[in-house]
Structure 1
Amino acid sequence: MDKRKLYISVAGIAILIIGVMLSRLLSSTGSEDIEKEKAETVNRFVVRTKEVHQETIKSKIEITGRLIASEQVDLFAEVSGVSTYGVRPFKTGNTFSKGEVMLKIDKGEFIRSLASIKSQFSSLLAQVLPDLKLDYPDDYAAWKDYLLNYDIDKNIAALPEVKNEQLKFFLTGRSIYSNYYSILESEERLSKYVIRAPFTGSLTETFIDQGTLVRTGQQLGEFIKNGTFEIEASIAYDQLSYLEKGKKVQFTDVKGSDTHEGTLIRINNKIDPTTQLVKVYFQLNDQRLRSGLYLNGHIESTTFEHATILPIESLVDQTFVLVAQNGKAIKKKIEVHNQNVNDFIAVGLKDGEKVIIDKKNSAFEGTEVIEM
């Protein structure tokens, strides 16, 4: 009986040991398979690709810019006084023809002051005439006629010509010339009380209203020329050979519905050292346009044979792309042309090659890939 129990106990222990060993063996085998699958999965990447189809491509120089008025002036007050409107209200959007009165500043006080100065000058001339008659009889008649025709309500006339140096010294000593030029200066200042349109255009900003007390140096508004605009754009230095002054370019607005012809009028001689871009300027004459509008245009440049257009994300180290070949990423050298923000023209690929268009670097070469 004791032997039987012993046999049963030994058999049970043996079965238990065999079970544990089998369990560990199975667990080990399954873990190795899982790790192997994980290793295979980790080393393979899903990528987006674009199949190459070579063609003849006419490259274009893209031009984008914002319209600015070709002539624009900031209006400032050079005198002080209360403002009044000219031929029409001094309001944003109003148009004035060249020479029209845009704004007037009350000049009553200044006119009275100028009349007083002119009257004093008339008295000064009358005082020197007796001396001229005695000492300079040859010049007396000219100065007498000048005084007889002198009118304080009109702009002062030029003084009689003096060739005698002694007479010049005499007149200078009597302050004739200093008073004359003082009146000229005041008459010039009087013209500042009336602000006229320097060219045909419109007000884009105004900072005063009817009856505003204007102070010297105060900004009154902004005035731009109508119908004539410029576009400032930047192009690569190596594209300058396709441009020359007078070249015509067709521009479209953001909607692409209207076309406007522009003419290249200036090319900056300075290159931006950071971007290696050059600023160019086009002039557009069109009454439909408005300052601040963005326009797009292009200039046809070089024709490339056996080329394809690729997104900029596919470019690696400026002159390479990664091609999906036999399940691996292969680095391939190409010719890069007309690179811009979104894409570029690639030469040196073959039809049917699949270029990886995800953003990658050189370290991705040799990696196993799965095409999306």
Structure 2
Amino acid sequence: MRKIILYILGVILLVGAVFGAKFIIDSKEAPKSEIRKTVKTVFVDTVQNSTVPILIPANGNLIAKHRVELYAEVQGVFEFSAKPFRAGQAYKKGQALIKIDDLEYRASVQSAKSNLYNQITAIMPDLRLDYPEVYTKWQKYLNAFDIDRSVPSLPEADSEKERFFINGRGINTAYYNVKNLEERLVKYSINAPFDGVLIQALVTEGSLIRSGQMLGEYIDPKVYELQVAIAKDYADLLEEGESVTLTNNNETQTYSGTVSRINASIDQATQTVSIFIEVRDASLKEGMYLKAKVEAKKVENAISIDRSLVNDKNEIFVVNDTILSSIKVQPIYFSDKQAVVKGIPDGEVILAKQVPGSYNGMLVEIVSDGLSASEKKKDSTSVSESIDQ
């Protein structure tokens, strides 16, 4: 009987514990989660449409506008130069860059001149007898003939008989043979075509120079050109004479240039047009890397904003009181960082910086003068408390 009573009591306690636990669980209320509304602070700008110039960035290396590659057209020994023929050496216009030994060739020229003189002398008796009216002018020609100077032009024939007589004696052939030799003799000396600097020297005095051999490069260090490639869409907007702002790679120095030439053809591979910018400055050197900002055109009633503010639907966010809403804009030009857009009314308040996760109806707080509205309220409260104290 005692064991039965203990079993019954145990069962009653176990069932009571189960029902008690269930009652406690059912009576417990789940805590209500509070939904916090996040208010982001934003920077804004007030739209004021104006005329915005479209600046197309470009870059390239400077090349001297006036440059000469020196090649030998004759063969001989490098005999003389007005100054040491070395890279970096400056020359004045007309000074001898390279003088090749021409003694042997000069002798053959003198021989041809002497032959011409002898041929003319041989026909003088015939001219005196058959053509006395032209004898005087040919006699004057012989008197002025100097074998050490360039051969003067032959007297012009006054009649067909005189022309036939002169040609029949081979005078014209001998004359043009001498002129041909004289022209080749000039090529034994290469003079500076302008004031400039030798930037490359491939031979030295005493070297044997062969015909067709490259001797060096000579440039004018005062005027340079920068060749840059511009997208074909803006090629029609550029004109010769437009001013261009140039900077060095570190953007520590600024130079002013002008568009001197625009290529008439488009590169088929890149679909770009080459333009050439002329720039003058004493500190410039050939090969320097420069960045250019070419003004393609000016857009009326537009603004320039951060490119990240324009989404893929060509929309930007504006702030109405404290709520974001999107409006459609008309993009005109995109650069790496900026976008030129139209279609925003004057006085509209737009975001100045992109807000991550922004959407229509988003609640925001405008930052003005470096402080948000709540921060300004705290500031004013603390100032009033200090005054009360």
Query: TM-score, normalising length from structure 2?
Result: 0.67
Q: Deviations over 1:138-185 (max 9, x none)?
A: 111221232233221121112122112112111111110000111111
Identify the residue that residue 107 of structure 2 maps to in structure 1. Answer: 112
Stretches of structure 1 lacking an aligned partner (at least 5 in a row): 1-50, 324-331, 357-372
Q: Deviations over 1:119-155 (max 9, x none)?
A: 1112211211111111111111221232233221121
8 Å CA contact 1:55–1:307 kept in 2: the answer is no
Identify the residue that residue 31 of structure 2 maps to in structure 1. Answer: none
Identify the residue that residue 8 of structure 1 maps to in structure 2. Answer: none
8 Å CA contact 1:71–1:225 kept in 2: the answer is yes
1:245, CA displacement in angstroms? Answer: 2.2
1:88, CA displacement in angstroms? Answer: 0.2
1:234, CA displacement in angstroms? Answer: 2.2
Q: Deviations over 1:57-108 (max 9, x none)?
A: 9553223222111111111111111012321011111111111111100011
Give the letter aligned to residue 63 of structure 1.
A
SS in 1 for 2:187: helix
Identify the residue that residue 161 of structure 2 maps to in structure 1. Answer: 166
Identify the residue that residue 83 of structure 2 maps to in structure 1. Answer: 88
Mark the CA change 1:306 to 1:282 in structure 2 (over 3 Å): closer, same or farther: closer
Distance 2:219 2:264 in 1: 27
8 Å CA contact 2:307–2:334 kept in 1: the answer is no
Identify the residue that residue 364 of structure 1 maps to in structure 2. Answer: none
8 Å CA contact 2:316–2:329 kept in 1: the answer is no
Give the letter aligned to residue 71 of structure 1.
H
SS in 1 for 2:283: coil
Distance 1:117 1:221 in 2: 33
Distance 1:334 1:305 in 2: 10
Identify the residue that residue 14 of structure 1 maps to in structure 2. Answer: none
* 2:334 is equivalent to residue 339 of structure 1: yes
Corresponding residue to 1:208 among 184, 203, 208: 203
Identify the residue that residue 289 of structure 1 maps to in structure 2. Answer: 284
* 2:193 is equivalent to residue 198 of structure 1: yes
Corresponding residue to 2:216 among 212, 221, 232: 221
8 Å CA contact 1:52–1:308 kept in 2: the answer is no
8 Å CA contact 1:252–1:296 kept in 2: the answer is yes
8 Å CA contact 1:83–1:214 kept in 2: the answer is yes
SS in 2 for 1:269: coil
Distance 2:279 2:286 in 1: 11
8 Å CA contact 1:54–1:306 kept in 2: the answer is no
Give the letter aligned to residue 136 of structure 1.
Y
Identify the residue that residue 59 of structure 2 maps to in structure 1. Answer: 64
Mark the CA change 1:160 to 1:260 in structure 2 (over 3 Å): closer, same or farther: same
Mark the CA change 1:52 to 1:302 in structure 2 (over 3 Å): closer, same or farther: farther
Mark the CA change 1:179 to 1:304 in structure 2 (over 3 Å): closer, same or farther: same
Give the letter aligned to residue 60 of structure 2.
G
* 2:303 is equivalent to residue 309 of structure 1: no
1:55, CA displacement in angstroms? Answer: 6.5
Distance 2:265 2:328 in 1: 33
Give the letter aligned to residue 260 of structure 2.
I
SS in 1 for 2:86: coil
8 Å CA contact 1:55–1:305 kept in 2: the answer is no
Mark the CA change 1:262 to 1:201 in structure 2 (over 3 Å): closer, same or farther: same
SS in 1 for 2:275: strand
1:334, CA displacement in angstroms? Answer: 6.5
Mark the CA change 1:306 to 1:171 in structure 2 (over 3 Å): closer, same or farther: closer
8 Å CA contact 1:104–1:193 kept in 2: the answer is yes
1:321, CA displacement in angstroms? Answer: 8.9
8 Å CA contact 1:334–1:346 kept in 2: the answer is no
Q: What RMSD, in angstroms, separates the aligned Cα atoms of the two structures? A: 3.2
* 2:229 is equivalent to residue 234 of structure 1: yes
1:336, CA displacement in angstroms? Answer: 4.2
Distance 1:296 1:160 in 2: 61
1:112, CA displacement in angstroms? Answer: 1.0
Corresponding residue to 1:175 among 147, 170, 179: 170
8 Å CA contact 1:85–1:104 kept in 2: the answer is yes
Give the letter aligned to residue 284 of structure 1.
V
1:236, CA displacement in angstroms? Answer: 3.0
Distance 1:61 1:146 in 2: 66
Distance 1:153 1:206 in 2: 33
* 2:184 is equivalent to residue 184 of structure 1: no
Identify the residue that residue 379 of structure 2 maps to in structure 1. Answer: none
Give the letter aligned to residue 190 of structure 2.
I
Query: TM-score, normalising length from structure 1?
Result: 0.70
SS in 2 for 1:271: coil
8 Å CA contact 1:262–1:282 kept in 2: the answer is yes
Identify the residue that residue 262 of structure 1 maps to in structure 2. Answer: 257
Distance 1:353 1:105 in 2: 71
8 Å CA contact 1:54–1:307 kept in 2: the answer is no
Mark the CA change 1:344 to 1:89 in structure 2 (over 3 Å): closer, same or farther: same
Give the letter aligned to residue 345 of structure 1.
A
Stretches of structure 2 lacking an aligned partner (at least 5 in a row): 1-41, 318-326, 345-349, 358-389
